[in-house]
Amino acid sequence: MSTHSEDMAVDLHEDNGHHKETFVSKYIFSTDHKMISKQFLLTGMIMGIIGILMSVLFRMQIAWPDKAFGIYEILLGKWADGGVMDPNMYLALVTMHGTIMVFFVLTAGLSGTFSNLLIPLQIGARDMASGKINMVSSWLFVVSSLLMVISLFVETGPAAAGWTVYPPLSALPQSIPGSGVGMTIWLVAIVVFIAQSLLGSLNYVVTILNMRTRGMSMTRLPLTVWSFLITAIVGIIAFPVLFAAGLMLIMDRSFGTSFFLSDIYIAGEVLHNQGGSPVLFEHLFWFLGHPEVYIVILPAMGIASEILAANSRKPIFGYRAMIGSLLAIAFLSTLVWGHHMFVSGMNPFLGSVFTFTTLLIAIPSAVKAFNWVTTIWKGNLQMNPAMLFSIGFVSTFVTGGLTGIILGDSALDINVHDTYFVIAHFHLVMGISAVYGLLAGVYHWFPVMYEGKLMNKKLGYWHFWITAVCSYGIFFPMHFVGLAGLPRRYYSNTEFPYFDDLADMNVMITVFAIIAAAAQLIFLWNFFYSIFYGKKGPRNPWNATTLEWTAPQEHIHGNWYGPLPTVYRWPYDYSKMNIDETDYVIPGQDFIPQNVPLQPNEEELDH
Amino acid sequence: MTALLVVLVILLFSVSLWQLNKLFILSKQGLKSDEHPGIATDKDNKYNGYLMIAFAIFIYALVIFTFYRWGITLLPEAASEHGVEIDNLFLASWIVIFTVGILMQGLLHYFAFKYRGEEGKKALFYFDNSRLEFIWTIIPVIVLSGLIIYGLFTWVDVMNVSRDDDPMVVELYAYQFGWRARYAGEDNELGKANVRLIEGVNQLGVDTSDPYSKDDFITDVLYLPVNKKVLIKMRSQDVLHSAYMPHFRAQMNVVPGMVTQFAFTPTITTQEMRESDRMIKKVDNINRIRENKSLDLMALGNEGLDSYEFDYLILCNKICGNNHYNMQMKIVVVEEDEFNDWTAEQTRLEESLNI
């Protein structure tokens, strides 16, 4: 659309879009969005391996609290002397697992990877609006990840106050060793992470609004791009508030201010702090924290919508309703943070308001779920691994979303707040679902990332079915643990004989978790093997309509040889019949790519 | 031992990689020339379609199995007045959740099976239907409105404490890692307190110059009279804690620098709860588990476990440090005259702090 992209088109036409590149400019300091997306994915995957490994360790501790394991000592060193895990280390593990999975895997790893890969390719642009800012964003992510990993090795241990880092626990090293240097590095890493996220998000928004190719109106954008746009906007609104909270916490920790601290007697002395309130921190944290879960899930929704439509060989049902519900969810997501604080001691009237807004958000979510199910209805489903993960996504999103009705209701939240019920709920609705979205995206767009190579489907099937069974095996019974009244973040439950009847359930959950983690090795193997030895497929392996499949398989800076494609239709013309209903519009081909003009035998619809 | 484990892990890992590689090679054989090892064929669609149905059955079976096997672990009937209201609201929400959940999972997986791809089959070009979408917007709107209104009435009922109820005032004091209860005494008015006043035996920082302090008394167990409203005022000396009393459907965070509160009326005494059918069954089950564990422990030369008797509990439910998992207090609910006897025996601050 913009003149900028056309100028570039002319440039690239002349020198054929190919520059001589060194190793450093191609793989390390690359400004090419395709390479940057791979950097995001790889960093996210490494962080994911660390995060999942941590969960295996603390799940083993929960299942067998009175047993010593040599593996603890090997991995945790002095924190597991003689193979017995230190309670502080247990808390550090759950804290770092949450931080790493939410921010580093599901925010940067998911949204960073696919926004970078797909935005330019699906809107028909040569690259992001600013390749350099994009590069900075990608490297800040690496710096932030490195900082977070380094914090694991400090003497007093990594941050251990929970991923929500509520003060005073996170502010006072006297209260828990993890709140020493480990917490300082945690905060610095998060500040760098926020900078990374903001630079990336601004770039995504500018690119989508300004650099769409000719004919690509907003209502012809694939739902992936819509979801990336809205995710980026929510991120721009919410992340600065966490930045402020982080800054104030740093001040409280190191410079003697009292934003969050008041009337504290610890380690035998009274602190000077007076007048602050931890509840203020909770407000600031959750003003980011709740939109954050939508930052995690919206891209997964976009990816699943796209893959469900392409593999059902059907248009997505209710395209405009899908956009509308994305917008409604994004808008409401900034008004519901208080549902994390029903029993924080804030005024109960606020609790009523947040119950109201929270349950409202179920409406657009329900519309989306119904539309996905209708999309596969009467389709011709191609069961590629990406499709399986997208169907799995709808399943876990529905299951996890439904229990949100309990947690969003202030009166019911009283008794399940901070129990395992919450863990089961959010892991299904935004953990597993977002991971499914991420995996579906990797299987589906692998050929775009790696020059036409495909991942092996058989391994994909094994990967999906084992993961799907284990996900329910872990998180369905976990609701019961919460409903039985067991709080989260307990190093061991054996101090309460009352909970002894949950011990065998915890063992079962841990066994499922270990199998699920092991199943991810199949994926890793498949991923790296296919990068090097994967078999090249056709240019458009899934017969999809969107523009990324019209680009040449080999990677060139600028994405397309010659002029950019022009768009004539929406991205969901699957199985569209001609006027006489005798055959598809293009005979023998059940899809019409976006760059194909309106055909004479075709009815013009409203897109 | 450790070295052996490491070797074993490395060995098993290598074996699994080798097996994966074999699987990989096998999966490449038997392909037709126009097939690609990355793209689903009709055969894949068929198998995965059947697996979808099997998966739906797995989910349903898991639900039934979990209820059958672990139903006994769920909390017993609410032991407080408002708890009954909350349980009713729970029930209403569960009905909605299970209905929608069973229906949606069934449809999703059935469609995935029914419409599995076949060569030559045509999908329906069906992209919009405002009436359908209106229906499935309005139904959640109605159902959720009902739940919101029901929920809000319950919430307001639970959280509002009126002076007319004339509740007994008790302070719950939290610290790393334990709880104390301070009773207001005969005047039902707590003496002022602040952490800055903590000194020596005055561990709760009670203001000894406040005349209301005189008849206060501090205990390690929370005694409550049955059928009398109690207003629990909460104070923390160091970090955030949360007073979680699951059997009373009660919870409130304890925040340093402010006083939070929660009021409820216990309706079932500890003794009555112990004698209820469900609790007898539950405790029997727990003791059977403990006996088995005891035998294992004693076989290894360790001490066995005591048998368990039910008591109401306060648990800490906000991460508060390394002993978070063992920060508990016993609650004992008794008849009113027994409570009065117990009160009479307690030492007042007047005496213990020499006010």
Q: pLDDT of A274-327, one tens digit each?
A: 999 999 999 999 999 999 999 999 999 999 999 999 999 999 999 999 999 999
Q: Chain B within 8 Å of A44 (Cβ-Cβ)? A: no
Q: Is residue B215 part of a domain?
A: yes
CB of A252 closer than 8 Å to CB of A197:
no
At residue B24 the predicted structure's pLDDT band, cuts being 50, 70 and 90, is: low
Q: Chain A within 8 Å of B68 (Cβ-Cβ)? A: no
Q: pLDDT of A33-43, one tens digit each?
A: 999 999 999 99
Q: pLDDT of B273-307, one tens digit each?
A: 999 999 999 999 999 999 999 998 899 888 888 89
At residue A7 the predicted structure's pLDDT band, cuts being 50, 70 and 90, is: very low
pLDDT at site A300: 97
pLDDT at site B21: 67
**Are A265 and B16 within 8 A, CB to CB?**
no
Whether A104 shows a pLDDT value over 90: the answer reads yes
Residue A20: CB atoms within 10 Å: 6
Whether B231 shows a pLDDT value over 70: the answer reads yes
Q: pLDDT of B190-211, one tens digit each?
A: 999 999 999 989 999 999 999 9
Whether B32 shows a pLDDT value over 60: the answer reads no
Measured between beta carbons, the chain A residues lying within 8 angstroms of B51 are: 465
Q: Is residue B85 part of a domain?
A: no
Q: Is residue B264 part of a domain?
A: yes
Q: pLDDT of A156-176, one tens digit each?
A: 999 999 999 999 999 999 999
Measured between beta carbons, the chain B residues lying within 8 angstroms of A526 are: 24
Q: Chain B within 8 Å of A505 (Cβ-Cβ)? A: yes
Distance from CA of A7 to the nearest CA of B (A): 37
Mean pLDDT taken over chain B: 91
At residue B31 the predicted structure's pLDDT band, cuts being 50, 70 and 90, is: low
| CATH number of the domain bearing residue B213 | 2.60.40.420
Structure tokens at A293: 């879960």
pTM summary value:
0.93
pLDDT at site B354: 80
At residue B9 the predicted structure's pLDDT band, cuts being 50, 70 and 90, is: low
Which residue among A70, A175, A572 places its CB closest to the CB of B2? A70
Element (H, E) at B231: strand B230-236
Q: Is residue B176 part of a domain?
A: yes
AA identity, residue A242: L
Structure tokens at B43: 């055969």
Q: Is residue B106 part of a domain?
A: no
Q: Chain B within 8 Å of A383 (Cβ-Cβ)? A: yes
Q: pLDDT of A439-469, one tens digit each?
A: 999 999 999 999 999 999 999 999 999 999 9
Q: Chain A within 8 Å of B321 (Cβ-Cβ)? A: yes
Average pLDDT (A83-110) is: 95
**Are B48 and A502 within 8 A, CB to CB?**
no
Size of chain B in residues: 355
Task: Please choose, from the candidates A441, A556, A550, the residue with its C-alpha nearest in 3D space to the C-alpha of residue A124.
Answer: A550
CB of B174 closer than 8 Å to CB of B181:
no
Q: Is residue B328 part of a domain?
A: yes
Percent of chain B with pLDDT over 70: 91
Average pLDDT (A228-246) is: 95
Whether A6 shows a pLDDT value over 80: the answer reads no
pLDDT at site A463: 96
Phi, psi of A543 (to 5 degrees): 50, 55
Q: Chain B within 8 Å of A142 (Cβ-Cβ)? A: no
DSSP B130-185: HHHHHHHHHHHHHHHHHHHHHHHHHHHHHH---GGG-PEEEEEEEETTEEEEEE-T
Distance from CA of B345 to the nearest CA of A (A): 29
Q: Is residue B180 part of a domain?
A: yes
Percent of chain A with pLDDT over 70: 97
Angle value at C-alpha A106, between A100 and A109, nearest 5 degrees: 95
Which residue among B40, B51, B255 places its CB closest to the CB of A278? B255
CB of A435 closer than 8 Å to CB of A106:
yes
pLDDT at site B13: 67
Which residue among A355, A493, A590 places its CB closest to the CB of B152? A355
Higher pLDDT, A465 or B355: A465
Q: Is residue B302 part of a domain?
A: no
Residues 74-133 of B with CB under 8 A from A: 74-75, 85-86, 89-90, 93, 96-97, 100-101, 104-105, 107-109, 111-112, 115-118, 121-129, 132-133
Average pLDDT (A594-600) is: 93
Which residue among B86, B117, B247 places its CB closest to the CB of A382? B117
Measured between beta carbons, the chain A residues lying within 8 angstroms of B91 are: none
SS3 A453: strand
Task: Please choose, from the candidates A39, A31, A152, A162, the residue with its C-alpha nearest in 3D space to the C-alpha of residue A94.
Answer: A162
Average pLDDT (B168-186) is: 95
How many structural domains compose chain B? 1
Which residue among B37, B116, B305 places its CB closest to the CB of A383? B116
If phi over 0 gives left and psi between -120 and 50 gives alpha, with beta otherwise, what is residue B171? beta
Q: pLDDT of B312-337, one tens digit each?
A: 999 999 999 999 999 999 999 999 99
- The residue range of the domain holding B244 is 166-272+308-352
